[in-house]
Amino acid sequence: MRISELAKQTGVSAHRLRRYEALGLICAERSTGGYREFGERTVREVVFIAMGRDLGLSLATLADAIPRYRAGTLTIEEMVFTLRRRIEEVDAVIAEQQALRQRLVDHIRWFKERAKRKPSAGFPSARKARR
């Protein structure tokens, strides 16, 4: 099947499929006219890659897994390990964002306390700043 058909069947853009091919994640044969021709098994591989990307797995992680996926040797335990590692990454990002949120809340509190003590001590107006 041609790249447009593969894109239609998988919901992955032709541009992205070309990138996957360039990275060696999927393979195509060339027709006598020079068109990419993909086998039926490529549909499953693209769906596997797309699902991995949707879960935030890197292309490097998927490039490591795809040969075992093709060979049928990728185990459930390996996938669970990879997904747990991804959960740890997500948890770290959440913790960073929660810490940032707390700093923002602390700054708001600081500004409000300052405003209570000195009501006129705010930011200079734009007109005063231009002088």
- Do the Cβ atoms of 6 and 43 come closer than 8 Å? yes
pLDDT digits (tens, 9 = 90+) for 35-90: 889 999 999 999 999 999 999 999 999 999 999 999 999 999 999 999 999 999 99
pLDDT digits (tens, 9 = 90+) for 13-36: 999 999 999 999 999 998 888 888
Burial status of residue 17 (CB atoms within 10 A of its CB: 0-12, 13-18, 19 or more): buried
